[in-house]
Amino acid sequence: MNPMALPREGRKVSKFNDLKKGLGRERLIELQSVSAATPKPSLAATVEKPDLVVETGDLPATACAVRDQLTSAGCLFDRGLPVKVVPSADGGPPTTTRLTANRIVMETHRLCRPVKLDSDEPIPVTLPDRVARMYLEMSGEWNLPPLAGICTTPLLAADGAVRTAEGYDHLTCLWCSSVPTLRIPERASKPRLPFSACARPFERFPFPMRRGAKMQLSASRWLTSISARAWTKAHSWSAS
């Protein structure tokens, strides 16, 4: 017995589809036309990177080219070996991480596009690990700025001035992060104490206190020495 095809009944109109003839062939074509009109991302927004030619016959020259690209990275420094300043995941002070061969490959691809020439046609390639290891062996030739540590406190200049910085400070070779701004008044809010009141706590110190100008000079030297050591110790805690 052969099966018989029965005509399909039309669907009832409801408030959800509002169709009189059901979902027929015409309705499918209409849905396809709507989906085809969805805008696609444009490739014009991609940032163009400079090409770095990987010369297979002269890999040391390629390592020098990588060195020139990493010098201008802005977040790579020389701390006895190449390191990168990375932000902390918990919002604290940034830290430094050592550059490995894989990290050098990633940083190179972030800054430029390694290519291989084929009949003068650039073909994108991955930077060879051998070039990254050659770069790590270029001790003293990295041309990276030195990094003394990471600081989160105001900086004290040689002339006694207090200043703030953000990012790399070329004077101190410190990476400054989240440094608070201090408001130091030009004039003291309290009157200056006489020197006798300042020198009175030093009368019990185990060194002879001289009278007159020699006494003032001796006490001022001790005060300067104590203040300098206290500031250096506090500054060393904030720098790593």
pLDDT in tens, 197-216: 666 665 555 555 555 555 55
pLDDT band for position 193 (cuts 50, 70, 90) = low
Task: Name which of 101, 10, 118, 135 is nearest 55 in CA terms.
Answer: 118
Decide: helix, strand or coil at residue 236.
helix
Angle at which helix 59-71 crosses helix 101-111, to 10 degrees, equals: 70
Residue 33: predicted pLDDT: 46
DSSP letter at 3 equals -
Residue 172 has pLDDT above 60, yes or no: yes
Are the C-beta atoms of 122 and 52 separated by less than 8 Å? no
Decide if pLDDT at 61 tops 70: yes
What's residue 144's pLDDT? 96
pLDDT at 236: 44
CA angle 6, 8, 10 (to 5 degrees): 155
Domain boundaries, the chain: 48-146, 148-182+210-240
Asked if 52 and 69 touch (Cβ cutoff 8 Å), the reply is yes
Q: What is the pTM of this model?
A: 0.59
Neighbours of 113 (CB within 10 A): 15
Average pLDDT of every residue of the chain: 76
Give pLDDT, residue 34: 44
